[in-house]
Amino acid sequence: MSKGKDAKPHIGIFGRRNNGKSSLINLLAGQEIAIVSEYAGTTTDPVKKSMEINGLGPVILIDTAGIDDVGELGLKRITKTNEALKTVDLAILLIAGNIFGDEETKLIASFTEYAIPYFVVHNKSDKESLKSELETKLKQDFQLKVIDFSAIFPVNKELIISAIQKLMPETAYRSQSLIGDLISYGDTVLLITPIDIEAPEGRLILPQVQLIRDILDNDGIAVVCKEREVDSYIRTMFPKPKLAICDSQVFLKADASVAKDIPLTSFSIILARQKGDFENYVKGTPQLARLKDNDRVLILESCTHHVSCDDIGRMKIPRWLTNFSGKKLEYEVVTGLSKLPRDISEYAIVIQCGGCVLTRKQIINRLKPAIDAGIPVTNYGMAIAFVHGIYDRAISPFLKKEQTATDYL
């Protein structure tokens, strides 16, 4: 299950079947978006709904299937629920009837593994209130304060809203500036944006739009041109740009056109710093030079789009990397947060796209299995810069003055 273009904070509601997860999500959203039934196992695939929470803005609520489901279909539902863990920024663990066992303990372990803040709600208090023994146990074992609640008589609904507001990580709803730390008031930023077969009709791609807005938000001046116009324009451009940013696929052209005293990078690398695991990207990218014959390369695309004959992830990167390495490599492309076709240990390197439609949380969790397994990871823009021999220049705007790219080799 992918967030897709829902790049808003995601709140997952987890628990056993028939604990009232659907009732809670309907109550919070203020409308019936999840099926409520007295029969256990009604929820199959996770259901999503957007709502506004004061102080956080729009959030996405995710109603998941029961963690105690049974049978072949039930196991598939549980798998879907576990996959949802990779997309959430905050979790609500819903219990009822004072039942707390192995399923809940395993779920809390997963929350911890994925660094997901969470809190516990004891639902159906109109039928059976939270017992002091369980409340004490959860406080001692997990340092948890439980909210005793009834979705039928939600007199303390504000306690749940308050817990969400308090525990939601600020990084989930407050975006970090893309280049605000690199420019000052009145600085000019040159954006080199090719218009090719992959460009959407009548508009710019999302990273380009995001950069223009970020430049304006930081009181800079955005100058936009195609790669064919760079040579003639940059000769007369005054003052010279504080930073030049290009699409990764025209890196070579931009490197030749933009004077070496002007910092140059790409849209993808900027997104890698904001949303990806930049430090591990910097460490992993040089491993592209160490690939061997028959190595598998995993390419992760975050969004779904029409695949053109010159698609950057499926066509251009494999072509450039094969030419650079001189090796016979195998490439596999996985879109969104789909399951990998094989174990992560069978890949020699992972190349992640910029992730413009995702949150940092999603990308970090997507890359976590590779990093845990010691598999090097990189990013579209950084990989392209490396195979074209301009890697040092492309990442230098983001390194500390005393650092160089070779420090990570």
What is the domain-level CATH number for residue 24?
A: 3.40.50.300
Q: Residue 67 sits in which domain range? A: 10-173
DSSP secondary structure of 37-102:
-SSTT---S-EEEEEEETTTEEEEEEE---TT--HHHHHHHHHHHHHHTTT-SEEEEEEETT---H
Q: Give, in order, the Cα–Cα distances in Å from 319 to each of 97, 299, 309, 326.
A: 59, 13, 12, 10
Final residue in a domain of this structure, among 173, 197, 226: 173
407 occurs within a structural domain? no
| CB burial readout 363-380, b (16+ within 10 A) else e | bbbbbbebbeeebbbbbb
What is the per-residue pLDDT for 2?
Answer: 40
Contacts for 70 with CB less than 8 Å, ≥ 6 apart:
none
Query: Is 17 in the same domain as 139?
Result: yes
Q: Pick the closest to residue 2 from 80, 65, 87, 79 (CA basis).
A: 87
404 occurs within a structural domain? no
288 occurs within a structural domain? yes
End-to-end CA distance of the chain: 35
pLDDT at 255 over 50: yes
Task: Collapse the DSSP code of 183 into the 3-class scheme (helix H, G, I; strand E, B; otherwise coil) and give the result.
Answer: coil
Among 147-156, 190-199, 362-371, name the one with the lowest average pLDDT: 190-199
Query: Is 325 in the same domain as 226?
Result: no
Query: Is 46 in the same domain as 167?
Result: yes
Contacts for 322 with CB less than 8 Å, ≥ 6 apart:
328, 329
Query: Is 156 in the same domain as 25?
Result: yes
| Stretch 302-314: mean pLDDT | 64
d(CA 205, CA 209): 7
What is the per-residue pLDDT for 332?
Answer: 96
Bridge-based pairing of strands 296-301 and 264-266 is unpaired
What is the per-residue pLDDT for 402?
Answer: 43
pLDDT at 199 over 90: no
- Max mean pLDDT range (23-37, 189-203, 291-305): 291-305
Final residue in a domain of this structure, among 249, 269, 289: 269
What is the per-residue pLDDT for 7?
Answer: 63
Q: Are 226 and 250 in contact (CB under 8 A)?
A: no
Query: Is 315 in the same domain as 237?
Result: no
Query: Is 340 in the same domain as 219?
Result: no
312/180: higher pLDDT: 180
**What is the token pair recorded at 267?**
């849209």
Query: Is 165 in the same domain as 23?
Result: yes
Q: Pick the closest to residue 303 from 360, 354, 369, 365 (CA basis).
A: 354
How would you class 117 by CB atoms within 10 Å of its CB: exposed for 0-12, middle for 13-18, buried for 19 or more? middle
Q: Quote the number of domains for the chain.
A: 3
Query: Is 263 in the same domain as 295?
Result: no
What is the per-residue pLDDT for 37?
Answer: 38
154 occurs within a structural domain? yes
Query: Is 262 in the same domain as 328?
Result: no
CB atoms within 10 A of CB 134: 16
Final residue in a domain of this structure, among 113, 143, 173: 173
What is the per-residue pLDDT for 42?
Answer: 46
Among 130-144, 197-211, 336-350, 372-386, name the one with the lowest average pLDDT: 197-211
For position 285, which CATH number holds?
A: 3.40.50.11410
**What is the token pair recorded at 229?**
């116009």
pLDDT class for 40, splitting at 50, 70, 90?
Answer: very low
